[in-house]
Amino acid sequence: MAGEARAQTATPETAQKTPEKPSAKYDAGFADIFLTARRVVLEGGKRTEGVTLMNASHNRNTYRVVINYRDMLEDGSLTERNEAKAGETRWQDLLRYSPRQFVLEAGDSQLVRLSFNPKASLPDGEYRYFINFQLLPHIPEPTPSSRDKAQGITLQVLPTYALAIPVIYRKGRLEAKATLGEPSFQPAAGGQGPQLRVKLSRAGTASTYGQVRVVFTPESGAEEEVALQKGLAVYAENDFRWVTLDLRSPSNRAFKNGHLKVSYTPDGRKHPESQIEIRVP
């Protein structure tokens, strides 16, 4: 009898328009998978979209596609659940997708179609689910020698690797406003490099996605970028999350006697929506 042990799924949050060819590669264990999107957002009356998965391995693989829910914690990590919360719209009432399982030869690809079919009575708001692309394990056939040695019931645990991306449907005129606050600088110590911790807050009726950039300006000398983290999300049900960034000076400057300027820029915008500074003694 064979059992499965599921590995932790990877969840890219960076927004990216779907290109003509697969370009987003994520490593899940030993699985080489290309996806053409890192996030799907349907709004402005649009109800259908597709995500292409490419088998970038050298093997013939079987994939399964499932939908579930995830909640964001204060540190930005996600917890997974399979059932809707009380008062939450189930994905089965809104979302249709196909195919749900398929086999790909090495180098082949498959388009997974997504379609939202809301009722007219659906309240305005943002509805978010996660689509999981699971690589099903190969179960090897027992060899004659292993059959001879086996006595009773044997258990074979095989990992299931998965990648997950958010799928969002927005109805009505929704907006979000993000602000940075409560920055805290931690100098290098005990083998750990310098870090900056900052609170990213969200207000409004929609999720916000974007990047945080940190620039260091010494009292004497030119400024330089010392951190850039893309794909940061604060979901519509979250008021804030904490972001911790490792700081690295390209010129190997010490982080002393200067200022760190932190900015948050939502995806699709050229200019920051929020900026703050912190003094480094």
Question: Is there a single domain that holds both residue 91 and residue 208?
Answer: no
At residue 192, does pLDDT exceed 80?
Answer: yes
Residue 147 has pLDDT above 50, yes or no: yes
- Does the pLDDT value for residue 193 go beyond 90? yes
Tell me the one-letter amino acid at 200: L
Give the span between the Cα atoms of 129 and 118, in whole angstroms: 14
Mean pLDDT throughout 212-231?
A: 95
Share of the chain above pLDDT 70, in %: 81
With bands split at pLDDT 50, 70 and 90, how would you rate the model's confidence at 161?
confident
What pLDDT score was predicted for residue 153? 62
- Of 152, 171, 190, the one marking the end of a domain is 171
C-alpha span between 178 and 267 (Å, rounded): 12
**Do 8 and 144 sit in the same domain of this protein?**
yes
* Boundary residue ending a domain (118, 145, 171): 171
Residues 157 and 19 in one domain: yes
Residue 4 has pLDDT above 60, yes or no: no
Q: For residue 148, what pLDDT band results from cuts at 50, 70 and 90?
A: low
Compute the distance between CA of residue 43 and CA of residue 207 in angstroms, rounded to an integer.
Answer: 13
Tell me the residue ranges of DSSP E strands in 19-155: 24-28, 31-35, 40-42, 48-55, 61-72, 78-81, 95-98, 101-104, 109-116, 125-135
In the predicted structure, residue 279 carries a pLDDT above the cut 90: yes
- Are both 162 and 236 inside the same structural domain? no
Residues 125 and 233 in one domain: no
pLDDT band, very low/low/confident/very high, at 5 (cuts 50, 70, 90) = very low
The pLDDT value given to residue 180: 98
Parallel, antiparallel or unpaired: strands 2-6 and 156-171? parallel
Same domain, 80 and 197: no
**Confidence class of residue 150 from pLDDT cuts 50, 70 and 90?**
low
Q: Looking at the predicted structure, is the pLDDT value of residue 19 above 50?
A: no
Mean pLDDT of 8-36: 50
- Examine the domain organization and report whether 161 and 213 are in the same domain: no
Q: Rounded distance, CA 34 to CA 54, Å?
A: 5
Mean pLDDT of the chain: 86
Give CA separation, 199 vs 137, 139, 193, 210, 244, in Å: 40, 46, 20, 14, 9
Q: Which of 13-22, 123-132, 270-279 has the lowest mean pLDDT?
A: 13-22
Which pLDDT value is given to residue 93? Answer: 96
Q: At 213, is the secondary structure helix, strand, or coil?
A: strand
Please work out, in degrees rounded to the nearest 5, the angle formed at the alpha carbon of residue 44 by the alpha carbons of 42 and 45. 80
* Residue where one domain finishes, among candidates 109, 142, 171: 171
Whether residue 184 sits in one domain with residue 161: no
Q: How many domains, in total, are found in the chain?
A: 2
Nearest-CA neighbor of 100 among 113, 81, 117, 91?
Answer: 113
- Of the chain, the percentage scoring pLDDT greater than 90 comes to 73
In this predicted structure, which of 7-11, 31-35, 55-59, 274-278 has the lowest mean pLDDT? 7-11
Note whether 115 and 182 are same-domain residues: no
What integer is the mean pLDDT of 25-45?
75
Q: Is 202 within 8 Å of 177 (Cβ atoms)?
A: yes
Residues 51 and 154 grouped into a single domain: yes
Task: Write the single-letter amino acid at 269.
Answer: R
Structural domain of residue 82, as residue ranges?
2-171
Residue 256, class by beta-carbon neighbours within 10 Å (0-12 exposed, 13-18 middle, 19+ buried)?
exposed
The reply to whether 155 and 181 lie within a common domain is no
Average pLDDT of span 90-95? 97
